[in-house]
């Protein structure tokens, strides 16, 4: 459905043999050596002058800007075919080279943290350092969890043969899985991503057979999967203890710039609205002609949605939706298509899932997805382009103030999905598609809010239990089952093999406790859309300002400028009124 839609990495390098790649790595190494010679031991001085620190920060950023170019190329090349030995070797070589560079400059943030808080605040108030004020104040929160420079260096080195090695192994292992499945009388081989995409198809027997086959294969690979997850849980536990974090999720919250209590309060609101999700599951079952859904029906389209959507048509839908909000949204999204920044063609060996990555403000973002032509894929396209728009708007910030906090990183992406669905719902040409569109939108909310709440609770549970012992396959699967059962109750039948549903969720492997960011970002995006509906163009400019700020301010401070307070449960509760209206509309149809 997206044949030939692949990204062009020549903006970075001409290919793996491009000599500039190694030249840039060497230049970054030389700059790191010079940086260390010039500044090591001088930053921790409590009388440090603002201009000295500014020069050091800018030099530190320039090393990252330079090193992230070869890193980006190697990462993206690897993601497009994780089975290719040459791409794997390049990515490993670049990671090791970058690790060596980081080792030389690890002292810098540690010396900033070593400054008295009064010095950090004094420096942050200096006009020359205003754009780095949030970065400097953030160091005061990280300071209690920092290690000595030798310890930090060892940690950095050990990740290559520890966490990063297991993450890479998981990616390659999952990409290597091929499952034979008979469809329409023909037996074909399917990857994990292709099997999961079949869950969004209209044929129930295909959905059931595909998911059953995948879960049974994951069961057969239980030794590998159990050991990967246990190793990563132990790695996380040991670092949590070493850095004196009060809970496994705490360091994610500090990095994200939100209080753990805010996340806990938000999740309690989601759980209070579990009955609303179950109401939708019952309505969807009725529309599908079923007594109740099972786990293979959760993402099934309504019957009218079965016609595949060509990528060219998806492009038109997304751009039209972006244009309804703001010229910047349209122009940035248009650039992705015109300049080949998207890899949408489904290929064997390609990394599963979807992402948008940008490694430095001097670069542009790239989108990866596996487009198969269903309405969900159109929404994923809008979602990932929302990330790209966010990155491009934030590129006016410098490196340290560029990459948005994960809790805000999902805001533009989800907002773009809402724009798409609302645009399609208003289209006269698609009036017959209203039930499938409403259902697709609600399915998205079920996945990005309710399911992410389940995933986060499961993560909390496995991290809690791993503190005491190595987890058996049965224990991991039981914890997964229990958290899902809290949401689905009697309204959704969980097939027995679903106990292995955790094993194909890459977030547990790649980004511990990232899933709560989806909840935060999605509910916030709904709230922002509600304000946009009520206030129009004036509020759209405020959203553009929010996104343009990147990580230059704390998320809570940025939201306060829009009159929003995530510590108040009312912010999250108002988002569920939007969800309830969607369900009302679907029931009305």
Model confidence over 324-338: pLDDT tens digits?
999 999 999 999 999
Question: And the tokens for 381?
Answer: 């396209």
Which whole number is the average pLDDT over 136-155?
85
Residue 569 to residue 559: CA distance in whole angstroms? 14
* pLDDT band per the 50, 70, 90 thresholds, residue 277: very high
DSSP string, 430-484: GGGGHHHHHHHHHHHHIIIIIIHHHHHHHHHHHHHHHTTSPPPHHHHHHHHHHHH
Contact, 50 vs 129, CB < 8 A?
yes
Would you state the pLDDT for residue 363? Answer: 96
Please give the residue that has the higher pLDDT: either 399 or 137: 399
Is the pLDDT score of 576 beyond 80? Answer: yes
Which domains does the chain possess?
A: 9-161 (1.20.140.70), 175-301+445-510 (1.10.1370.20), 307-441+524-557 (no CATH)
Q: Read off the pLDDT of residues 174-186 as tens digits, 9 standing for 90 and up.
A: 989 999 999 988 9
Kindly tell me the burial class for residue 108, based on how many C-beta atoms sit within 10 Å of its own C-beta (0-12, 13-18, 19 or more): buried
Question: And the tokens for 321?
Answer: 């939706």
Which residue matches tokens 């309505």?
283
Q: Average the pLDDT over each of 123-132, 142-151, 377-386, 398-407 and give the range with the smallest value.
A: 142-151
Please give the residue that has the higher pLDDT: either 142 or 280: 280
Share of the chain above pLDDT 90, in %: 80
Number of H helices, E strands in the chain: 27, 7
Would you state the pLDDT for residue 160? Answer: 77
Strand pairing report for 179-183 and 186-190: antiparallel
Closest CA to 139 of 105, 170, 106, 114: 114
Provide the mean pLDDT of the chain.
Answer: 93
Would you state the pLDDT for residue 152? Answer: 83
* pLDDT band per the 50, 70, 90 thresholds, residue 238: very high
Which whole number is the average pLDDT over 75-79?
96
Residue 64 to residue 58: CA distance in whole angstroms? 10
Which whole number is the average pLDDT over 13-17?
95
Would you state the pLDDT for residue 24? Answer: 98
Which whole number is the average pLDDT over 448-453?
96
Which whole number is the average pLDDT over 403-416?
92
Would you state the pLDDT for residue 303? Answer: 65
Is the pLDDT score of 89 beyond 70? Answer: yes
Is the pLDDT score of 390 beyond 70? Answer: yes
Would you state the pLDDT for residue 156? Answer: 78
| Helices marked H in 4-132 | 19-39, 50-80, 85-105, 107-114, 117-125
Burial 7-43 (b: 16+ CB within 10 A, else e): bebeebbeeeebeebeebbeebbebbeebbeebeeeb
Would you state the pLDDT for residue 372? Answer: 87
> Which residues have a Cβ under 8 Å from the Cβ of 391 and sit 6 or more positions away?
356, 358, 364, 365
Would you state the pLDDT for residue 431? Answer: 72
Is the pLDDT score of 432 beyond 80? Answer: no
Which whole number is the average pLDDT over 96-102?
95
Would you state the pLDDT for residue 355? Answer: 94
Q: Read off the pLDDT of residues 157-213 as tens digits, 9 standing for 90 and up.
A: 788 788 888 998 998 899 899 999 999 889 999 999 889 989 988 899 999 999 999
* pLDDT band per the 50, 70, 90 thresholds, residue 307: confident
Is the pLDDT score of 306 beyond 60? Answer: no
How far from 224 is each of 39, 71, 220, 229, CA to CA, in Å?
Answer: 45, 28, 9, 9
Which whole number is the average pLDDT over 499-505?
95
Which whole number is the average pLDDT over 215-229?
96
Which whole number is the average pLDDT over 391-404?
96
3-state secondary structure of 147: coil
Is the pLDDT score of 462 beyond 90? Answer: yes
Contact, 352 vs 503, CB < 8 A?
no
Would you state the pLDDT for residue 175? Answer: 85
Would you state the pLDDT for residue 492? Answer: 97
Would you state the pLDDT for residue 429? Answer: 67
How far from 349 is each of 141, 171, 359, 377, 442, CA to CA, in Å?
Answer: 41, 10, 23, 19, 31
Would you state the pLDDT for residue 69? Answer: 97
DSSP string, 82-113: TT-HHHHHHHHHHHHHHHHHHHHHTHHHHHHH
Is the pLDDT score of 305 beyond 90? Answer: no
How far from 152 is each of 99, 100, 112, CA to CA, in Å?
Answer: 12, 13, 14
Would you state the pLDDT for residue 153? Answer: 81
> Which residues have a Cβ under 8 Å from the Cβ of 61 and sit 6 or more positions away?
398, 399, 400
Task: Say how many C-beta atoms besides its own lie within 10 A of residue 3's C-beta.
Answer: 11
Question: And the tokens for 159?
Answer: 């990740």
Contact, 328 vs 389, CB < 8 A?
yes
Would you state the pLDDT for residue 154? Answer: 85
Would you state the pLDDT for residue 402? Answer: 94
| H or E segment and range at residue 294 | strand 293-294
Is the pLDDT score of 409 beyond 80? Answer: yes
Which whole number is the average pLDDT over 446-457?
97
Is the pLDDT score of 230 beyond 80? Answer: yes
Closest CA to 530 of 566, 579, 586: 579
Is the pLDDT score of 474 beyond 90? Answer: yes
Task: Say how many C-beta atoms besides its own lie within 10 A of residue 314's C-beta.
Answer: 24
Contact, 136 vs 43, CB < 8 A?
no
């Amino acid at each position: 459905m997206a044949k030939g839609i692949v990204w062009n990495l020549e903006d970075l390098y001409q290919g793996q043999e491009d000599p500039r790649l190694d030249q840039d790595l060497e230049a970054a190494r030389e700059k790191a050596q010079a940086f260390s010679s010039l500044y090591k031991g001088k930053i921790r001085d409590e009388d440090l002058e603002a201009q000295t620190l500014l020069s050091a920060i800018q030099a530190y950023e320039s090393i990252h800007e330079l090193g992230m170019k070869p890193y980006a190329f190697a990462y993206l090349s690897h993601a497009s075919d994780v089975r290719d030995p040459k791409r794997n070797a390049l990515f490993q070589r670049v990671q090791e080279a970058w690790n060596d560079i980081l080792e030389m400059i690890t002292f810098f943030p540690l010396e900033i943290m070593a400054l008295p808080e009064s010095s950090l605040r004094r420096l942050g108030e200096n006009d020359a350092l205003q754009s780095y004020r949030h970065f400097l104040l953030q160091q005061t929160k990280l300071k209690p969890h920092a290690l000595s420079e030798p310890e930090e260096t060892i940690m950095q080195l050990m990740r290559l043969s520890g966490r990063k090695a297991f993450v890479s192994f998981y990616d390659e292992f999952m990409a290597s899985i091929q499952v034979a499945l008979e469809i329409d009388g023909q037996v074909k081989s399917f990857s994990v991503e292709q099997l999961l995409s079949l869950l969004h198809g209209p044929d129930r027997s295909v959905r059931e057979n595909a998911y059953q086959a995948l879960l049974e294969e994951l069961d057969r690979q239980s030794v590998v999967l159990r050991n990967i997850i246990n190793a990563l849980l132990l790695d996380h536990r040991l670092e949590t203890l070493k850095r004196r974090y009060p809970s496994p999720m705490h360091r994610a919250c500090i990095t994200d710039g939100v209080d753990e209590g805010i996340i806990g309060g938000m999740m309690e609101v989601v759980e209070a609205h579990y009955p609303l999700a179950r109401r939708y599951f019952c309505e969807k079952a009725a529309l599908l002609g079923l007594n109740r859904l099972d786990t293979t029906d959760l993402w099934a389209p309504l019957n009218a949605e079965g016609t595949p959507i060509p990528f060219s048509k998806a492009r038109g839908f997304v751009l039209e939706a972006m244009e309804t909000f703001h010229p910047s949204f349209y122009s940035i999204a248009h650039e992705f298509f015109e300049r080949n920044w998207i890899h949408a063609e489904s290929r064997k060996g390609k990394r599963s899932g979807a992402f948008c990555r940008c490694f430095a403000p001097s670069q542009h973002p790239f989108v990866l997805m596996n487009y198969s032509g269903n309405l969900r894929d159109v929404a994923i396209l809008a979602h990932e382009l929302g990330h790209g728009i966010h990155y491009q708007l934030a590129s006016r910030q410098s490196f340290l103030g560029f990459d948005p906090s994960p809790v805000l990183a999902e805001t533009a992406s989800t907002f773009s999905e809402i724009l798409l669905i609302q645009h399609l719902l208003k289209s006269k040409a698609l009036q017959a598609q209203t039930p499938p569109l409403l259902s697709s939108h609600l399915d998205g909310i079920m996945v990005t809010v309710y399911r992410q709440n389940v995933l986060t609770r499961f993560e909390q549970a496995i991290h809690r239990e791993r503190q005491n012992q190595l987890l058996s396959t049965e224990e991991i699967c039981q914890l997964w089952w229990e958290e899902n059962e809290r949401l689905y109750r009697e309204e959704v039948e969980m097939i027995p093999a679903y106990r292995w549903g955790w094993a194909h969720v890459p977030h547990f492997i790649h980004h511990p406790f990232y899933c709560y960011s989806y909840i935060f970002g999605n509910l916030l995006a709904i709230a922002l859309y509600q304000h946009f509906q009520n206030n129009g163009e004036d509020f759209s400019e405020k959203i553009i300002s929010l996104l343009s700020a990147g990580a230059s301010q704390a998320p809570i401070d940025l939201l306060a400028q829009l009159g929003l307070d995530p510590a108040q449960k009312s912010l999250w509760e108002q988002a569920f009124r939007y969800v309830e209206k969607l369900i009302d509309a679907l029931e009305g149809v």
